[in-house]
C-alpha cells in the first residue's frame, strides 16, 4: 500500500484502499505516479459527499458558480505549462500539442458559459394571465468518465458544463492518466470550489464499475471506447431516469476527389490520420483515393511525406509531429491490427513499426481495396487504410459501411461534390477541405451509430447537464374573470 493521497473525497485528499496501480511515461517507462485505487466503499463516500454538497452548490446563483469556474480558468492559465508537461509526460504527446490541449481547457469555460445561456437559460413569455417561464435544473450528482487521449480537455468538456448547471461531480479518469487528473482537481481546489462539489476516484476498471453502478448517481457522462460505452448503455437499460451521455469511438473515412493542390491534400490527410499518433476519435482511418493518375500521385506524395514524419520525445528541442502512443500495449496492438489486415489481403505500403518496450510507433499505410470483409473496427493509432474507387457515389456508400458515424471528410475542389457528400455521408462531424481532426469546441461534438447516443458534447454538452422545467406563474392566487361552464363557487 502506498500512502499517496490520490483520492479527493469531500474536499480531503485521502489514500485509496484498493489495489495499487501506477502511471508511466510511455516513452521511457519512468513511473510518474503511483497510488492505491479507490475501493467501492470509497466510491460510495464520494457519491455521498457529492450528494451532501448538491443543494448548497445548485442553490447558488449561476453567476456565483460562474465566478468560481472563471477562477479555475485563471488557475489553468497560471499553470498551463505545468499541465502541458504533465499531459505530455503521461500520454507521450509532444509539448506543442499538449500546450494546445491546456489552451482548449481554458477556452472551454467561456464557451460553456455561452452555451449555458443559449441552450439552458431562462426564457419568459407573457400570457393572458400570468407568465410562462422556461428554466433548466441540474440533474444532481453525476459521474464523469474520461479517456486517456485528451486527459485534461475531454473530461473538462463534461465537468465544466456540469458544474455550471449546478450538478456535483464524481470524476473517474483513465487509469492511464491519473497524474493529469490529480493536477486538474488541485487546480479546482485552488479556484475555491467548495468541498464535495467535485470528487475524484482514481482506479482501474473495478473502480469505474463501482461508480457506474452506484445507485446514488443521477447521470453519467462518458468519453471513451465504444466497447465500454456499450457496456454502460446496457447497464443503464431500464433506468431511463438517469441521464447517460456517451461520446465514443469512430472508424472515420476521408475521400479525395478532383483536387488541384495535391500537396495540400497530402497535408490534410496527414493531419487527419497521424496527429496524436492516430489517437484521436476523429482521426481518419480509411482514405478513399480515385483510381488512376491523380490517386496514384497523391498516394506517392503521401507515402513520401509519411516516411518523413518526425517521431520523438515530448520535449525534444526539435519537436516531433508524433510522440509516443499511450503505452507499449497500445503500440503492440497496432502492429497486431496491421498483421491481421495483411492476412486478410491487405498490402503494407509503409509498415507501421514499433519500438518494443515503449509506446513509440512509426506511421503505417496499408492498401485494403481488395479485402473482402473489411473489419469495422477502430484501430486507435497511426495506421491508414487505403481504398481505391472509380465511382464517387460508390465510394460514399463504402465509407458508410460502418457501425460508427463520428467524423468524415471530403478533400475536393467541386462544391457540387461536397453537397452530394454532405447529404449522403453518415457522421456527426463532416468537413470539406479541412482535416477531420481538431473539431471546434464552439460546435456540437458527437457522432451517430456506435459513436454516440445522440447526446453531442462540446457546445451541446449543456443540453445533457440540465433538464427543462416549464412553469406558468402568477404572483397571487387569483379568481379568473369568468368561470368554466358548469362551475359554481358561490
Ligand X SMILES: O=CCC[C@H](NC(=O)CCC(=O)O)C(=O)O
Ligand Y SMILES: NC(=O)c1ccc[n+]([C@@H]2O[C@H](COP(=O)([O-])OP(=O)(O)OC[C@H]3O[C@@H](n4cnc5c(N)ncnc54)[C@H](O)[C@@H]3O)[C@@H](O)[C@H]2O)c1
Residues at the binding site for NAD(+) are 224-229
Please work out the total of residues on this chain that contact ligand Y, with binding judged by CB under 6 A. 28
Identify the CA nearest to 161 among candidates 183, 139, 182, 192: 139
Cβ 185 vs Cβ 6: under 8 Å: no
Compose the 239-278 pattern: x for residues touching ligand Y by CB under 6 A, - for all others: --------xxxx----------------------------
How near is the Cβ of 154 to ligand Y at its closest, in Å? 5
Binding mask 150-189 for ligand X (x = CB under 6 A): x------x--------------------------------
Nearest alpha-carbon partner for 314 in 149, 88, 28, 150:
88
Euclidean distance between CA atoms 36 and 14, whole angstroms: 10
Q: Is 247 a catalytic residue?
A: yes
Q: Which does 341 bind (CB under 5 to 8 A by kind): ligand Y, ligand X, none?
A: none
Beta-carbon contacts of 355 under 8 Å, excluding residues fewer than 6 positions away, are: 331, 361
Q: Is 133 helix (H, G, I), strand (E, B) or coil?
A: strand
Minimum CB separation from ligand Y for residue 450, in Å? 10
The residue among 130, 112, 132 whose CA lies nearest residue 122 is 132
C-alpha cell at 268: 490534410
Query: Which of ligand X, ligand Y, none is residue 437 near (CB under 5 to 8 Å by kind)?
Result: ligand X
Q: How many CB atoms lie within 10 A of CB 355?
A: 14
Question: What kind and span of H or E run contains 152?
Answer: none
Q: Does 209 bind ligand Y (CB under 6 A)?
A: yes
Sheet holding 12-14, edge to edge: 12-14, 7-9, 198-200, 168-172, 141-145, 219-223, 243-247
289 vs 292: CA distance, rounded Å: 9
Q: Which of 146, 290, 359, 405 binds ligand Y (CB under 6 A)?
A: 146
Shortest Å, Cβ 223 to ligand X: 8
The answer to whether 324 contacts ligand Y (rule: CB under 6 A) is: no
Query: Smallest distance, Å, CB 65 to ligand X?
Result: 20
Per CB under 6 A, does 457 bind ligand X? yes
Beta-sheet pairing, 243-247 with 198-200: unpaired
Catalytic residue among 97, 113, 281, 283: 281
Is residue 271 within 8 A of residue 370, CB to CB? The reply is no
Q: How many residues bind ligand X (CB under 6 A)?
A: 13
Q: Which of 247, 367, 368, 465 does the annotation list as catalytic?
A: 247
d(Cα 246, Cα 380) in Å, to the nearest integer? 18
Query: Is position 103 an interface residue for ligand X (rule: CB under 6 A)?
Result: no
358 makes contact, choosing from ligand Y, ligand X, none, with CB < 5 to 8 Å by partner type, with: none
Figure out which of the listed residues 33, 54, 145, 314 binds ligand Y, where binding follows CB under 6 A.
145
* Letter string b/e over residues 199-209, b meaning 16 or more CB atoms within 10 A of that residue's CB: bbbbbeebbbb
> Closest Cα partner for 49 from 165, 170, 148, 220?
170
Q: Looking at beta carbons, which residue is closest to ligand X?
A: 441
Chain positions 170 to 199 lying near ligand Y, rule: CB under 6 A, are 172-175
**Residue 290 partner contact from ligand X, ligand Y, none using kind-dependent CB cut-offs of 5 to 8 Å:** none
Residue with cell 479555475: 72
Q: In this chain, which of 282, 324, 327, 431 binds ligand X, going by CB under 6 A?
A: 282
Give yes or no for a contact between 126 and 111, defined as CB atoms under 8 angstroms apart. Answer: no
Show the beta-strand stretches assigned E in 97-197. 123-126, 131-138, 141-145, 168-172
165, 281, 386, 462: which one contacts ligand Y (CB under 6 A)?
Answer: 281
DSSP 3-state assignment of 150?
A: coil
For residues 401 and 379, is the Cβ–Cβ distance under 8 A? Answer: no
| Residue 209 contact, options ligand X, ligand Y, none, Cβ 5-8 Å cut-off depending on partner type | ligand Y
With CB under 6 A as the contact rule, the residue among 386, 458, 465, 466 that binds ligand X is 458
Which of ligand X, ligand Y, none interacts with 458 (beta carbon under 5 to 8 A by kind)? ligand X
Whole-number minimum distance, CB 405 to ligand X, in Å? Answer: 14
The CA distance from 232 to 224, in Å, is 11
201 or 458, CB closer to ligand X? 458
Closer residue to ligand Y, CB minimum distance, 205 or 442? 205
Among 228, 251, 276, 362, binds ligand Y (CB under 6 A): 228
Catalytic (active site) residue 281: yes
Near ligand Y by CB under 6 A: residue from 223, 324, 358, 402:
223
Closest to ligand X by CB, 39 vs 282, is 282
> Rounded to whole angstroms, what are the CA distances from 434 to 43, 232, 254, 294, 409?
43, 33, 10, 19, 8
Choose between 281 and 284: whose C-beta lies nearer to ligand X: 281
Residues near ligand X (CB under 6 A) are: 149-150, 157, 280-282, 437-439, 441, 445, 457-458
User: Which residues in this chain contact ligand Y in the complex, by CB under 6 A?
Assistant: 145-150, 154, 172-175, 205, 208-209, 212, 223-225, 228, 231, 247-250, 281, 378, 380, 406
* Residues known to be catalytic: 247, 281
Amino acid at each position: 500500500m502506498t500512502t499517496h493521497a490520490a483520492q479527493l473525497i469531500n474536499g480531503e485528499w485521502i489514500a485509496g484502499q484498493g489495489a495499487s496501480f501506477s502511471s508511466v511515461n510511455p516513452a521511457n517507462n519512468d513511473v510518474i505516479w503511483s497510488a492505491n485505487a479507490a475501493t467501492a466503499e470509497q466510491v460510495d463516500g464520494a457519491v455521498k459527499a457529492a450528494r451532501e454538497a448538491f443543494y448548497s452548490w445548485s442553490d447558488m446563483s449561476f453567476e456565483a458558480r460562474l465566478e468560481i469556474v472563471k477562477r479555475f480558468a485563471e488557475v489553468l492559465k497560471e499553470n498551463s505549462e505545468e499541465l502541458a508537461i504533465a499531459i505530455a509526460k503521461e500520454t507521450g504527446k509532444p509539448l506543442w500539442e499538449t500546450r494546445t490541449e491546456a489552451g482548449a481547457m481554458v477556452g472551454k469555460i467561456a464557451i460553456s458559459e455561452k452555451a449555458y445561456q443559449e441552450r439552458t437559460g431562462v426564457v419568459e413569455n407573457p400570457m393572458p394571465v400570468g407568465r410562462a417561464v422556461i428554466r433548466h435544473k441540474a440533474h444532481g450528482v453525476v459521474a464523469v468518465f474520461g479517456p486517456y487521449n485528451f486527459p485534461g480537455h475531454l473530461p473538462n468538456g463534461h465537468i465544466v458544463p456540469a458544474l455550471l448547471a449546478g450538478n456535483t461531480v464524481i470524476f473517474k479518469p483513465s487509469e492511464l492518466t491519473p497524474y493529469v487528473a490529480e493536477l486538474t482537481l488541485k487546480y479546482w481546489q485552488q479556484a475555491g470550489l467548495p468541498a464535495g462539489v467535485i470528487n475524484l476516484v482514481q482506479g482501474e476498471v473495478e473502480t469505474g464499475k463501482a461508480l457506474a453502478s452506484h445507485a446514488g448517481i443521477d447521470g453519467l457522462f462518458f468519453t471513451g471506447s465504444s466497447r465500454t460505452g456499450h457496456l454502460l448503455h446496457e447497464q443503464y437499460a431500464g433506468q431511463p431516469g438517469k441521464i447517460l451521455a456517451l461520446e465514443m469511438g469512430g472508424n472515420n473515412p476521408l475521400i479525395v476527389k478532383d483536387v488541384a493542390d495535391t500537396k495540400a491534400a497530402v497535408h490534410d490527410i496527414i493531419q487527419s490520420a497521424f496527429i496524436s499518433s492516430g489517437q484521436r476519435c476523429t482521426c481518419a482511418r480509411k482514405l478513399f483515393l480515385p483510381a488512376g493518375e491523380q490517386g496514384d500521385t497523391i498516394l506517392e506524395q503521401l507515402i513520401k511525406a509519411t516516411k518523413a514524419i518526425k517521431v520523438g520525445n515530448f520535449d525534444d528541442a526539435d519537436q516531433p509531429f508524433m510522440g509516443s502512443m499511450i503505452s507499449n500495449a497500445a503500440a503492440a496492438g497496432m502492429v497486431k491490427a496491421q498483421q491481421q489486415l495483411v492476412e486478410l489481403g491487405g498490402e503494407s505500403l509503409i509498415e507501421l513499426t514499433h519500438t518494443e518496450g515503449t509506446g513509440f510507433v512509426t506511421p503505417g499505410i496499408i492498401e485494403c481495396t481488395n479485402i473482402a470483409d473489411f473489419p469495422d473496427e477502430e484501430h486507435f493509432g497511426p495506421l491508414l487504410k487505403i481504398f481505391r474507387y472509380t465511382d464517387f457515389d460508390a465510394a460514399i456508400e463504402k465509407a458508410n459501411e460502418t457501425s460508427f458515424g463520428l467524423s468524415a471528410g471530403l478533400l475536393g475542389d467541386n462544391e457540387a461534390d461536397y453537397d452530394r457528400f454532405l447529404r449522403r455521408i453518415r457522421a456527426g462531424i463532416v468537413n470539406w477541405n479541412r482535416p477531420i481532426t481538431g473539431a471546434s469546441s464552439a460546435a456540437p461534438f458527437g457522432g451517430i451509430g456506435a459513436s454516440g447516443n445522440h447526446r453531442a458534447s462540446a457546445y451541446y454538452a449543456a443540453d445533457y447537464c440540465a433538464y427543462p422545467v416549464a412553469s406558468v406563474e402568477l404572483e397571487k392566487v387569483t379568481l379568473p374573470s369568468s368561470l368554466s361552464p358548469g362551475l359554481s363557487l358561490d
